Amino acid sequence: MNKPHSYNVRKIVMVILIPVIALLSYATYITRRAEARDRLQTEISHLIVQYRNGETQSIDLSKVSLISWDRLYIFGPYVQLKSIQNSLGYSWRPDTFFFPGPERAFNYLFFTRNGKVIQYVEYPLDWGNFAEKDRKVEGYIPSEAHFIINTYGYIFWSEE
């Protein structure tokens, strides 16, 4: 009679323990992804500050060192997820809550490798507004990812 009780306790522990471990693993994964986005956002900000201080001729996003990417897509604050997916060429799904729209004052920078998103950044407009004019819909390869800031503070692609 002792065995069935022991089996039931073990079964109950497993039913509770496995989902808790899975939830903690997922929470850790999400936290690490958010921290990586924050570090990338900081690195981009640093490149913009260097340009504003006259230390560089352009904002060269190919110098982003935290990730290895082969194409960069930039979207404005009014973008819909479907538009992002159309530009990327596949049905990308974010790993966390993702809500672009007019209420969110961000540009969205998507870094891809081999056609898949490896990281994206919500970049606040008040830190630097990547202007819509002349934005390349097909994205930028690293050698093209040079930007300048005009007198109004908008960040534009520099073809040089």
Predicted pLDDT at 104:
64
User: Residue 114 belongs to what domain range?
Assistant: 37-157
The rounded distance, in Å, linking the Cα atoms of 121 and 111 is 8
Q: Would 146 be classed as within a structural domain?
A: yes
Q: Is residue 5 part of a domain?
A: no
| Alpha carbons 107 and 123: distance in angstroms, whole number | 5
**44: nearest Cα among 18, 64, 29:** 64
In a domain, 99, yes or no: yes
Give SS3 for 39.
Answer: helix
- Confidence (pLDDT) at 57: 94
pTM: 0.77
User: Which residues 6+ apart lie within 8 Å of 65 measured at CB?
Assistant: 43
Per the structure, how many domains does the chain have?
1
Is residue 1 domain-resident?
no
127 close to 137: Cβ distance less than 8 angstroms: no
Q: Exposed (0-12), middle (13-18) or buried (19+): which is 6, by Cβ within 10 Å?
A: exposed
Residue 6 in any domain: the answer is no
Angle at 43 between CA 111 and CA 125, to 5 degrees: 75
Name, in order, each residue with C-beta under 8 angstroms of 13's C-beta and a sequence gap of 6 or more: none
Percentage of residues of the chain with pLDDT beyond 90 = 39
pLDDT > 60? residue 125: yes
Residue 74's pLDDT is 93
Residues 6+ apart with CB under 8 A from 92: 84, 85, 116, 117
Is residue 127 in some structural domain?
yes
- At residue 78 the predicted structure's pLDDT band, cuts being 50, 70 and 90, is confident
Q: Is residue 11 part of a domain?
A: no
